[in-house]
């Protein structure tokens, strides 16, 4: 089932699959389609909610220039759960969606029994945060100046993700899908800065009744989101939980990833 929900300043697109305990899969800027293979596998024994974040793909904004913050996206998830009369839920967020999930745990703990934040790019706990903030600002400026492949090269370098020669030009140069370009531009212009600069309230997260899990991809060792996730787990006084593959393991190896996700959910 797919539908839309009117929320302040936007209309949210969402999909619901399956039956059973509710699991939300969320990204930023990744949309519902990014999670479709994993959602189909998980829906055999769970109700699975996926959504396009505000301003992305099928979730248009009333004001396209509105910035997207983790708090806004968390409030959108809260409204979706209220609208569906569903929850408490397990929320799995990856990358920017992991920051959304952590913001949800702070603002709406009564609606989630488990939060799994997989590779959240939260640099505030890191000692080199100011350098990373400056690097993010430089990536945004490079993109908005029209150097798309240059911005992605800087992004991958700061993320410590090694790309094969020519891969960035192949992925982000030449003729591209207009929708993909629009969502990419929104990420650089209106989502990335506030997502990376979000500051966790460790005291609130530790005190909440919601179980918080910090996930890391097994292939992400040494990458920026490995570092941020280790720091987040340390701030919460927990050990990180390993998942198959790398930063987008849920898309690269959905079968293995969902097997691991089921095991983590069963511990809640």
Q: Which fold has domain 2-126+195-266?
A: Rossmann fold (3.40.50)
Looking up tokens 């020669």, which residue turns up? Answer: 165
pLDDT at 268: 67
pLDDT of residue 92: 98
Separation of alpha carbons 124 and 126, rounded Å = 6
The whole-number pLDDT of residue 157 equals 97
Domain boundaries, the chain: 2-126+195-266, 129-193
- 0.95 cut: is pTM over it? yes
Number of residues that this document lists for the chain: 268
Cβ neighbours of residue 50 closer than 8 Å, sequence gap 6 or more: 14, 15, 17, 24, 25, 26, 32, 35, 36, 39
Mean pLDDT by groups of 10 residues along the chain of 268 residues: 92 97 97 97 98 97 96 98 93 98 97 98 98 98 97 97 90 91 97 98 94 97 98 98 95 96 92
């Amino acid at each position: 089932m797919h539908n839309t929900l009117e929320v302040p300043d936007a209309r949210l697109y969402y999909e619901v699959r399956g039956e059973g305990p509710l699991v939300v899969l969320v990204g930023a800027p990744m949309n519902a389609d990014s999670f479709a293979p994993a959602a189909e596998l998980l829906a055999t024994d769970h109700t699975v909610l996926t959504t396009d974040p505000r301003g992305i793909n099928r979730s248009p904004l009333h004001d396209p220039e509105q910035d997207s913050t983790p708090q806004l996206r968390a409030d959108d998830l809260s409204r979706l759960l209220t609208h569906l009369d569903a929850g408490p839920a397990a929320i799995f967020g990856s990358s920017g969606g992991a920051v959304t999930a952590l913001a949800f745990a702070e603002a709406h703990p009564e609606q989630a029994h488990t939060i799994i934040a997989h590779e959240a790019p939260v640099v505030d706990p890191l000692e080199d945060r100011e350098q990373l903030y400056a690097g993010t600002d430089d990536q945004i400026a490079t993109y908005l100046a029209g150097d798309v492949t240059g911005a992605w090269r800087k992004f991958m370098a700061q993320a410590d993700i090694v790309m094969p020669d020519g891969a960035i030009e192949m992925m982000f140069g030449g003729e591209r899908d207009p929708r993909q370009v629009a969502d990419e531009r929104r990420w650089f212009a209106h989502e990335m800065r506030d997502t990376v600069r979000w500051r966790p309230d460790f005291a609130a997260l530790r005190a909440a009744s919601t179980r918080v899990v910090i996930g890391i991809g097994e292939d992400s060792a040494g990458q920026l989101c490995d570092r941020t996730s280790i720091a987040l787990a340390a701030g919460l006084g927990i050990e990180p939980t390993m998942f198959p593959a790398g930063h987008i393991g849920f898309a690269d190896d959905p079968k293995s990833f969902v097997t691991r996700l089921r095991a983590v959910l069963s511990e809640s």
